[in-house]
Each structure stands twice: as C-alpha cells, then as structure tokens.
Structure 1
Amino acid sequence: MHLPLRQVVAVAGLVALLAGCGGAPAPSAAAPTGQAQSAAPAPAEQLTAQPTAGTPRAIASGLEVPWGVSFLPDGNALVTERETARILRVTPSGEVTPVGTVAGVQARGEGGLLGIAVSPGFATDRTVAAYYTSGSDNRVVALTVAPDGTVDGAAQRVLVDGINSGSVHNGGGLAFGPDGMLYIGTGEAGQRSPSQDRDDLGGKILRVTADGAPAPGNPFGTPVLSLGHRNVQGIAFGPGGRVYGAEFGQNTVDELNLITPGANYGWPDVEGVDDREGFTNPLLTWPTDEASPSGMAAAGGALWMSALRGERLWQIPLTADGAAGEPRALLDGQFGRIRAVTATPDGSALWVTTSNRDGRGSPGPDDDRIVVVPLS
C-alpha cells in the first residue's frame, strides 16, 4: 500500500560545516527532527521565487539510452549513452557528435556507462569524470578531452573502484560540488547489506578529491559521506552548499534526502519515514509509481528531479534554509521515462533526457531524446 503523495519532515537548524575544506562551502544539511507530516510544505512566504517552465522542445533524437549530461565551458554538453559506452558532444542547437567510447564498460541490466561530470577546472585540466560498470565492479575514472574535443576512452585514470555492481542498483550519480569535491551516488547492487557497512562503498554517497582521495572533513576519514542508501542516481546542491540525493525506494516510497555528513538513511532496515533512532528521515517521499527518481539538478531556487516510472519532472521549491515546499509535476506523460535533468550553465534552461529504450519503456520512433525546458 502506498503512503500519501509526499511526507515532509520538520527541519531544524544547520549542522556544523565539515572541517578542512579550504574555505570553500562544505556540505551541510539541516537535521530532520520530530514526526513526519503529510502534505505539510514549507510556508509559501518562505520559498525562493520560483521560475516558470516554458514549452519543452526536443533538440536531439535517436539516442541509445542517454544517461548523464554535463556542460563544458563553451556551452556544449557531454552526454553518455549507457548501452554503447559512447560519449557524445551535443551543441545547444542539437548537433550530436560522438567524441569517444569508454573502454572497459560492460552494459548489463541497469549498468553501463552512467554519470559524467566536467571538472570545475576544465579550462586548465581538460578533465571529465565518468562512472561506469566494468566486468568486476562499478568505478569512477578521469578522462581527458583533447584540444579537438575528442576523448580517448582507453586512457583512464581510476579515481574510485571496487564499488558493488550487479544487474540492478548500480547508482551512477556524479557531480562536482561547490566545494570542488566530487560527489558519487552508489547503489547496493541488489545485495542490501552493503548499505549498512561503513567500510563498503555500495549504498553510499561518496565525497572525494579530484584525484579520488577521501575528501578533507569526511566523517569517517574514508570516501563515505553518508550511508544507508539503496540506489542514488541524482545529486544536486541547494542553498548554502547543501547536498541533496534522489533515491529509489523498493515497493513503498521513493525519497529525496537532505544529506547530513555521517548520517544513516536507513536502507535496508527502513524505507521512507520511520522516526527510528539512529536513522535520518527523508525530506520528501513519493509513491514509487509517481517517481523512481534518477537525475536531479538545482536552478532558480528549486530542485528538479526526473522520474522514470513516474514519467514526469518534479519541480521542488526550496527555502533559503534548505526546506522544501510543495512539489509540482511537469512534463507529465509527455515524453515517457525521464532520466537525466541538468541545468544550463546560465540557469536559463534545463536539459532533460528520455530513457524509453532502456528495456522498461515504450520507445517511439524518435527515442531517445534530449528535451530543452526553458526557465523564466
């Protein structure tokens, strides 16, 4: 039986910032406290002024399960294809050019070439990070973009390896934070137990340096930032550098979590809101048929969370202190399964990818597509 559309946890003050981040904004979050409440959004007067989503338009079609999207400084985007292991360069006008194939990718089930993140220092280091499923694990590697825009997918520098892999729950979320650190969302590969094992990289949100070392200030002195996750594919950063993670539930609810360093989000002992000691409640939950969240982005004072099974895009308004207002469903049923959502560098639009050719959708003749949603 599904719970109500959403549950909001009362939010208290900020936790202390992580130490040792060289003065850059560190991951912080408000600690959920008290009883979960149904349909109790943050008061409208506390919400940041919200952008309006304009008419969506497809700019690219015929792609093979596009998974991750990350923008280059020149305004073009790099897009991964899960099945083919290709990296595509896509211009704002929709011109698609394959620029490289990542070696070692073994696409099986939900695994393959997943997230991608352009280095914040790209102008000098020419580096992008990519998350993929190999024959033995999930791993994150650094790749170099040549001056001509091509990527040698065989010339890899391993940042993090040994992440659990399987036919399901491979995670794949990848994003550089405002503190310059690389955040990685992992899954428990259907094994359940890794999520509660602090020494296992599965079922976690990881935070590492650009070289793959545990980031300064991490709570356990390891790459682990938070634990007790089932499958994290979307990571985004809100006001004050707060970290949010989108998480697939099992049969009851999917979650939006506001990440506190060192916190345990409950899986597999807890799904959704439980108020059990030692576990942190989600900020919001949805019935699984209305979400199955994958990508997530922040723009215009809101989080934007894609929904695979829900076939929609959720706009989640935020307050200045990181609390959430009433979510609003966009693109409901218009494009099928929605996988990635990424804000353009100037925040004027979202790029959204479909995932109708992933074996669980009903692809049309133009799938899969990249859709641009203007914001005003």
Structure 2
Amino acid sequence: MRTIGTSGAGTRLLAAVLGTVLLGGCGSIDPTRTAQTPPPVSPAPDSPPPGTAVPGTPRDLVTGLSVPWAIAFLPNRDALVTERDTAHLLRVTPDGRRTDLGRVPGVVPSGEGGLLGVAVSPSFDRDHRVYLYFTSATDNRLARLTLDGDRLGAPQPLLTGAPKGQNHNGGRIAFGPDGMLYIGTGETYRTELAQDRASLGGKILRVTPDGKPAPGNPFNSPVWTWGHRNVQGLAWDDANRLYATEFGQDRFDEINLVQKGRNYGWPKVEGFGKDARYTNPLLTWPTSEASPSGLAYAKGSLWAAALRGTRLWQVPLNNGKPGTPIAYFNGAYGRLRAVVRAPDGNLWVTTSNHDGRGDPKPGDDRILVLPLR
C-alpha cells in the first residue's frame, strides 16, 4: 500500500536541513531576486531510517462525510469533526459511531470558506468550551461555544475581522503547549495583506482563550508571525517547537519552523531565497506534489496531508532538523485534508474529495485510521 513519490526532483524536495535559526528569504517571485538552490539531499529511501515510525495499513473509521476539514479530540477520546460545506459539527467515537451535533449558526460556506478549524479547551472537563474558526457573511472569525453532552450552545465571537474570500481562508486552530490558541490565516488572494501587520490575513495569530492578544506577542496585537500565504496546518514537536504548512503559488509549498515575530516572505518570495529580511522554510515541495493542509507530529516525525499531491508525507525530525521526506498512499485515497494524532497514538486522516477539486469514490469523504509502528 505504501508508495514513494514518483518525481525524483520533488522527492528530493529542494530541502535544506537548517538549524533552528532560519534566516533569509524564499525562492523568488520578484524577477529582480535570484532563487537559491538548497543543498542537495539523497533521494527518498525505499524504507524509513532506523528508529523512524512506519505507518501500517489504513482502515475506514467513518464514511459518507462532506469535506471533513478538522478534527479535535475531547478528553473522553471522542473526536469533534467539522464539515466545511455543510457547517455541521460531528462527534465521532473511536469505534466509528457518528453523531451530528447540528449546524453551527452564522457560518456562510463559499469556495474554500465555511466551517473550518476546531479546538477543544485544555480545561474542557471544567468549562465544556469548544473553539471554532469559520467564515461568516462578513469575515473569518474565531468563536467559542459550549458543548453539554450533545447540545451546542450559541457561538460567541471572540476574534473577528480576518479577511474572507473564495480562496485562501486559512482556518487551522490549535492550543499550544503555552495554553494559548494559535490560528493560521490566509491572505484571500490579496497578497499585500501578508506584509501588512495591521491585517489579520496571511498570518499566524496567537490569542488567549478569550480571543485577546496573548501576552508576549511581538506587535501588541494578535499577530505572532507574518508574510504567510495560506496556513492550514499547525503542529508542535516534543520540544514545543511549532511547525506550519503553507501553500505556495506556482513553485513551492512549504513547511515552516514558526518563530516569534518572523516574516516568512510572501509575496516577496516563494520557497528559499537570499533576503535576510525573510525567514526561509524548513523544506519545500513542488506544488504538484503537496498542497499541504493538515499537519501532525507523532513518533519523531511530522505528517503532512497533501491535497493536490494526494499523498501523506512523513518528515522525520532530528532535534528540529528535517530528514528526507517519504510519501505514502500516493493517489490511493485522493485528496487528503486533515491529519491528527489520536489519543491512542494512531493518526486520523480525512479525505477531501467532495471539495470541488477531487474525484469522489464510493464512501467518500472518509476518516481513515492509520496505525504507526
């Protein structure tokens, strides 16, 4: 069932194995800049390096979904799952029982917008709070509601005013090890917003559980990092380093090591570059092999779900430095959207074949359970 990426150049990823300080720009869009060719790496191995987790055979957990966009686990190991286009929030048990908790009021799906990210309060046992990121009639916003059994409370807007568009709405949210809520946003094809620190578009935001700028933010605003195109994946490793997936335009998709106050270069650069004002990515792919959305960390590796690339990428890490990425399930399940580590250590992966760009198969969309060995 495992397949290795078919493009040698793409599998080599143009990846630079960088230190924890990543300075410089990205592969240039500006014709006055010169793209930097990262150091060569070995072709993808036929098997992962010794000590690296290996995925087993996926199995269907739930089928018949409509663009399942995000997954977050409750303390009892049930999962909350958002459906982008129907705006419904689902509860899914580890044995695959599904409960429709209802349509979230105020969501206005359109294009890549709709009901997007979901996060569970770290103190859910006490406060029963669930956080959602969604597209409204006027913006993209963060809202909080309560979940009492299977009853949803009314959403309370916490952070409003992120730009909305047909494309590039970002939408991933996750609580970090510091107890703050991180939000990946997109620039909605208004590329200038990514370099405008007054805009919430094209950023990674960091806010308190009440939606306020978090203490220690670099600009006295919700903005944590800037110069992003469309962030749809967030994950922390065992050392609390934050990584994010980002969609490129024509040349390079990225995984970035996210560090406070850094400018990641869009739209001035795409991929690797030489301008010290902009932070280089950790690694890149050709856009045909990735369009990376969800991101998880498990058993020493990052796991990135690829939409256009229709595969799951494993990126082994060694003290924050990436090894050679490995591609699995190329084309077997179509477009992959979310990937999260479940409480039992397995990965849950969603397909996104009903999003208008896929080729739905019987049973799509689905949640797959992927054991790690």
Normalising to structure 2: TM-score of the pair?
A: 0.90
Whether the 8 Å CA contact 1:48–1:301 is kept in 2: the answer is no
Match of 1:11 among 12, 18, 33: 18
Q: 1:48 to 1:105 in 2, by over 3 A?
A: farther
* 1:9-158 equivalence runs, <5 A: 9-13=16-20, 30-32=21-23, 37-40=38-41, 49-146=51-148, 148-152=149-153, 155-158=154-157
Whether the 8 Å CA contact 2:23–2:278 is kept in 1: the answer is no
Whether the 8 Å CA contact 1:4–1:38 is kept in 2: the answer is no
- Please give the alpha-carbon distance, in whole angstroms, between the structure 2 residues aligned to 1:112 and 1:357: 14
Deviation track 1:239-287 (CA, whole Å, cap 9, x = no partner) reads 3211111000001110000011111111111111112120011110001
Whether the 8 Å CA contact 1:101–1:151 is kept in 2: the answer is no
SS at match of 2:363: coil
Q: Is 2:359 the counterpart of 1:358?
A: no
- Please give the alpha-carbon distance, in whole angstroms, between the structure 2 residues aligned to 1:37 and 1:251: 18
Match of 2:325 among 324, 327, 331: 327
Q: 1:275 to 1:353 in 2, by over 3 A?
A: same
Whether the 8 Å CA contact 1:294–1:340 is kept in 2: the answer is yes
- Please give the alpha-carbon distance, in whole angstroms, between the structure 1 residues aligned to 2:40 and 2:75: 40
SS at match of 1:9: coil
- Please give the alpha-carbon distance, in whole angstroms, between the structure 2 residues aligned to 1:164 and 1:184: 13
Whether the 8 Å CA contact 1:68–1:114 is kept in 2: the answer is yes
Q: Which amino acid aligns with 2:247?
A: F
Deviation track 1:45-69 (CA, whole Å, cap 9, x = no partner) reads xx89321211100111110110000
Q: Is 2:212 the counterpart of 1:194?
A: no
Q: Which amino acid aligns with 2:338?
A: A
Deviation track 1:301-352 (CA, whole Å, cap 9, x = no partner) reads 11110000000110111112x11111111121111000000100232x0000
Where does structure 2 lack aligned partners over 5 or more consecutive residues?
A: 1-7, 26-35
Q: Which amino acid aligns with 2:121?
A: S
Whether the 8 Å CA contact 1:8–1:36 is kept in 2: the answer is no
- Please give the alpha-carbon distance, in whole angstroms, between the structure 2 residues aligned to 1:33 and 1:158: 37
Please report how far the alpha carbon of residue 150 of structure 1 lies from its aligned counterpart in structure 2 after TM superposition: 2.4
Between 1:31-40 and 1:61-70, the stretch displaced more is: 31-40
- Please give the alpha-carbon distance, in whole angstroms, between the structure 2 residues aligned to 1:142 and 1:50: 38
Whether the 8 Å CA contact 1:7–1:283 is kept in 2: the answer is no
Deviation track 1:135-164 (CA, whole Å, cap 9, x = no partner) reads 100001111111x23223xx1222211001
Please report how far the alpha carbon of residue 32 of structure 1 lies from its aligned counterpart in structure 2 after TM superposition: 4.2
- Please give the alpha-carbon distance, in whole angstroms, between the structure 2 residues aligned to 1:116 and 1:346: 20
Q: Which amino acid aligns with 1:73?
A: P
Q: Which amino acid aligns with 1:367?
A: D
SS at match of 2:269: coil
Greater RCO (CA < 8 Å, at least 6 residues apart): 2
Q: 1:49 to 1:151 in 2, by over 3 A?
A: farther
Match of 2:337 among 317, 336, 339: 339
Deviation track 1:158-209 (CA, whole Å, cap 9, x = no partner) reads 2211001000000001111111110000000111010000111000000111
SS at match of 1:115: strand
Q: Percent identity?
A: 54
- Please give the alpha-carbon distance, in whole angstroms, between the structure 2 residues aligned to 1:336 and 1:8: 25
Whether the 8 Å CA contact 1:10–1:33 is kept in 2: the answer is no
Alignment: residue pair count: 350
Q: 1:228 to 1:48 in 2, by over 3 A?
A: farther
Q: Is 2:365 the counterpart of 1:368?
A: yes
